[in-house]
Chain A
Amino acid sequence: MNIRILEKDENSIKFILEDVDVAFTNSLRRIILAEVPTMAIDDVIIIENSSPLFDEIIAHRLGLIPLKTDLDAYVLPEKCECGGEGCANCQVALTLEVEATDGPMTVYSGHLKSQDPKIVPVSEKIPIVKLAKGQKLVLEAYARLGQGKEHAKWQPVSVAAYKYLPIINLDYEKCDQCGACVEACPREILELKNGELVIGDVFNCNLCKSCEEACDLEAIKISFDDRTFIFTIEGTGVLPPERILEEAVKILAEKADQLIEEMEKVKGT
């Protein structure tokens, strides 16, 4: 197994994963989407709401606000010592109190005041509701760790996807430089330079085979390497992408451990 990072920034990562099968890669992708825990608001107590929106719509919008997650300080409620009732190890309280005193105003995610300075909205500019003069919104919200399989608001990523490494085979003997494939490629990978067909960024190929179809001489062939993947992760900002991957692979190892443990128990009987 070998990994080469192609691109990386604060919220996203793109890498090449070599010498693994799809089963492993897909497990990893599925764990990232459904099992890496993140923080999100799950319980809201509305104290006063004279806004035009119903309580439940506001609660739903609050739930969808991505919160920066600290996985070292919090545990999933079902794994918490409190038994899921809610304590300082598994829950964070956020409060919001806004009144439109001088005319219409918008309530933003930035108005939420968190009990823990580490658990704050990823962006302060997510609108929640617009208030007219005199309207008021006062509430208490409780955020907890959760998993994407329960609700999409707990997904740490907006994109976690992979594709096989494309292989573009060009038969220079057959090619007559007609340029039909250059026209056909939706990703503009191919180019005619001084009467010679040049292959550009292979990673960008989406394996559509439009070039193959366009070529009457069968000079261009598209295939892929099914043991090499281009893996893309776009985080929502709740966790750094490298942490998301580390957590995912940790969860997979835990699953394997549990399976070994359970099977050893059966073996003894």
Chain B
Amino acid sequence: MKIKILERTDRELEFELEGEGHTLCNLLRKVLLEDEDVTFAGYRIEHPLIGKPKVYVRTNGEKDPLEAVIEAAKKIKKMAEEFREAFLNSLKGSHYE
């Protein structure tokens, strides 16, 4: 993953996520939109063969958009951990071992 910042102000952030695609960006967008301070979040992949999605985040000014992205990434990590735990529990709890 390589990040290139294209634009950064106190309420706007646009960056390029080289090497990623819909897998991460769509989830990131979804989680960002759940943040009350985020007024807009989206991404686009200009060419399907060149994996360089551009992510755009805008906040209401209460929060640094960069901070919003970091918080969203932390939420994604928590979701992944939650899934892992739930899955391991379901394996243990069932008669499949």
- Check B79–A24 contact: CB distance below 8 A: yes
Q: A21-B30, A245-B87, A258-B1 are in contact. Are A8 and B96 (CB under 8 A)?
A: yes
Instruction: Kindly state the separation between the CA atoms of A263 and B28 in the bound complex, as whole angstroms.
Output: 13
The answer to the question of B22 belonging to the interface, with a C-beta cut-off of 8 Å to chain A, is: yes
Instruction: Kindly state the separation between the CA atoms of A245 and B91 in the bound complex, as whole angstroms.
Output: 12
Instruction: Kindly state the separation between the CA atoms of A4 and B30 in the bound complex, as whole angstroms.
Output: 25
How many A residues touch the partner, as a band? 35 or more
- Check B84–A262 contact: CB distance below 8 A: no
Q: A253-B77, A256-B80, A259-B69 are in contact. Are A27 and B5 (CB under 8 A)?
A: no
Of the residues A1, A26, A262, contact of B83 by C-beta under 8 Å: A1
The answer to the question of A208 belonging to the interface, with a C-beta cut-off of 8 Å to chain B, is: no
- Taking the closest CB of chain A, its distance from the CB of B7, in whole angstroms, is 12
Which residues of chain B from 42 to 97 have a CB within 8 Å of any chain A CB? Answer: 66-67, 69-70, 73-74, 76-77, 79-84, 86-87, 89-91, 94, 96
B-chain residues with CB within 8 Å of residue A246 when the two chains form the complex: 84, 87
Total A-B residue pairs with C-beta atoms closer than 8 Å? 104
Q: A5-B91, A8-B96 are in contact. Are A262 and B26 (CB under 8 A)?
A: no
Which residues of chain A from 91 to 105 have a CB within 8 Å of any chain B CB? Answer: none
Q: A249-B83, A262-B3, A263-B70 are in contact. Are A30 and B90 (CB under 8 A)?
A: no
A-chain residues with CB within 8 Å of residue B30 when the two chains form the complex: 21, 23-24
Which residues of chain A from 248 to 268 have a CB within 8 Å of any chain B CB? Answer: 249-250, 252-253, 255-260, 262-264, 266-267
Interface residues of A, Cβ cutoff 8 Å to B: 1-5, 8, 15, 20-21, 23-24, 26-28, 30-31, 34-35, 242, 245-246, 249-250, 252-253, 255-260, 262-264, 266-267
Interface residues of B, Cβ cutoff 8 Å to A: 1-3, 5, 8, 17, 20-24, 26-31, 66-67, 69-70, 73-74, 76-77, 79-84, 86-87, 89-91, 94, 96
* Sample of 22 A–B contacts (CB below 8 Å): A3-B89, A3-B90, A5-B96, A23-B30, A23-B31, A24-B27, A24-B83, A31-B23, A242-B87, A242-B91, A249-B84, A252-B76, A253-B76, A253-B77, A253-B80, A255-B24, A256-B73, A256-B77, A257-B77, A259-B73, A263-B69, A263-B70
